[in-house]
């Protein structure tokens, strides 16, 4: 159960226990979202155990570096859940577990006899955070990060997205669910006399498609559409070519836009017309005359938010 805190005195920020201190998590989740969530839970103080199948974690084979980073401090054991002995070992471990983290399809959990109704009946105090692809009735559908991003409008051309947004966003939502479960345990695990009280566990579903849809909200609202102010319409919020590379400039607020225009030799009218084609063109011409080092100095001297980059890879 989560560690209790002394109600007589609140700990200061330097001595406060991590938010998941004392929480016992068992993970069956493979690939990226589950291990990434477990990594953050471990950093928050949780005691983390992971059961991997005899074939091992796929991430260990195709990205050993990522696997090592995500499993540092995690107790990893090999358990065959398809065998009766493996499932009994799982249940013995769950007797001493607060939260179970999974990433199987619901049908696979049912086939193993590990669906939530049966788990809850055998381990009533256990909570489960189940990472699935799509929410609700779609949870058994085949899908992956790329398909969820495409469904949410985050694939805008033929290039792959630069990172796995749905997987990593789903990992954060899974951590949010773990924290919610831990708060439930912590709030309800002690009675008025501080005597331990058994509380029923809860089931939390986390869908990667829902994570993608959440990340896509700025685009859904039009903010990052081409006509949006952070989608390219504002001349102070763009990526430009410069003399020896590129520059990501984020002079969105009026005071930043005014400083950028002043540095570029543009008048006050330009600072109030950052969406005009003329301002865009003037800004693009000016950036082409500046090197990365010149722009980095300007950013410090003029207090303008920008970051330079090398030439784009071919």
pLDDT in tens, 43-102: 999 999 999 999 999 999 999 999 999 999 999 999 999 999 999 999 999 999 999 999
Q: What is the spatial distance between Cα 293 and Cα 156, in angstroms, rounded to a whole number? A: 32
| Contacts of 279 by beta carbon, 8 Å cutoff, 6+ apart | 235, 261, 266, 270, 273
| Residues 30, 157 within the same domain | yes
Per-residue pLDDT at 184: 86
Checking if the pLDDT of 171 tops 80, the result is: yes
Reported confidence tier of residue 4, pLDDT bands at 50, 70, 90: very low
CATH number of the domain where residue 49 is located: 3.40.50.10540
* The Cα angle at residue 79 between residues 145 and 176, in degrees rounded to 5: 40
Both 32 and 167 in a single domain? Answer: yes
Is residue 87 situated within a structural domain?
yes
Which of 169, 198, 220 marks a domain boundary? 220
Of 220, 243, 271, the residue at which a domain comes to its end is 220
Q: In what order do the strands lie in the sheet with 75-78?
A: 75-78, 47-52, 24-27, 99-102, 127-132, 203-207
263 and 195 together in one domain: no
Is residue 15 situated within a structural domain?
Answer: no
pTM, two decimal places: 0.88
Q: pLDDT for 179-220, tens place per residue?
A: 999 998 887 665 555 555 678 999 999 999 999 999 999 999
Q: What is the mean pLDDT of residues 5-23?
A: 68
For residue 266, the enclosing domain spans 229-309
Least confident of 5-14, 48-57, 187-196, 299-308: 5-14
From CA 2, how far away is CA 25, in angstroms rounded?
11
Q: How many domains does the chain have?
A: 2
Please give the pLDDT value at position 193: 57
Q: Are residues 177 and 78 in the same domain?
A: yes
Same domain, 180 and 252: no
65 and 114, same domain (yes or no)? yes
Indicate if 208 and 234 belong to the same structural domain. no
End of a domain among 185, 220, 255? Answer: 220
Residues 237 and 129 in one domain: no
pLDDT in tens, 220-240: 999 999 999 999 999 999 999
208 and 300 fall within a common domain = no
Domain at 280, CATH number: 3.30.1540.10
Q: Answer whether 304's CB lies under 8 Å from 263's CB.
A: yes
Contact 225, 202 (CB under 8 A): no
Percentage of the chain modeled with pLDDT above 70: 91
């Amino acid at each position: 159960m989560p560690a209790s805190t002394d109600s007589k005195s609140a700990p200061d920020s330097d001595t406060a226990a991590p938010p998941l201190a004392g929480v016992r998590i068992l993970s069956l989740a493979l690939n990226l979202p589950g291990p990434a969530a477990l990594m953050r839970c471990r950093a928050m103080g949780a005691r983390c155990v992971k059961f991997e199948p005899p074939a091992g974690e796929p991430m260990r084979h195709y990205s050993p570096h990522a696997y090592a980073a995500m499993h540092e401090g995690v107790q990893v054991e090999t358990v065959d859940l398809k065998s009766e002995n493996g499932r009994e070992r799982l249940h013995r471990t769950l007797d001493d577990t607060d939260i179970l983290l999974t990433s199987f399809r619901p049908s696979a959990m049912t086939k193993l006899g590990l669906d939530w109704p049966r788990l809850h009946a055998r381990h009533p105090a256990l909570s489960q955070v189940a990472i699935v692809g799509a929410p609700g009735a779609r949870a058994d559908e085949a899908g992956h990060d790329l398909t969820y991003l495409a469904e949410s409008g985050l694939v805008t051309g033929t290039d792959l997205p630069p990172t796995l947004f749905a997987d990593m966003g789903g990992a954060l939502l899974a951590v949010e669910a773990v924290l919610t479960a831990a708060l439930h345990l912590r709030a309800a695990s002690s009675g008025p006399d501080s005597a331990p009280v058994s509380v029923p566990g809860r089931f939390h579903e986390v869908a990667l498609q829902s994570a993608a849809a959440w990340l896509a909200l700025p685009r859904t609202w039009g903010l990052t559409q081409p006509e949006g102010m952070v989608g390219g319409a504002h001349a102070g919020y763009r990526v430009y070519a410069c003399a020896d590379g590129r520059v990501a400039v984020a002079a969105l607020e009026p005071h930043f836009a005014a400083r950028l225009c002043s540095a570029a030799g543009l008048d006050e009218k330009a600072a109030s017309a950052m969406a005009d084609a003329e301002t865009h063109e003037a800004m693009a011409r000016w950036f082409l005359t500046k090197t990365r080092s010149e722009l980095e100095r300007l950013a410090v001297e003029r207090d303008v938010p920008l970051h330079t980059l090398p030439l784009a890879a071919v």
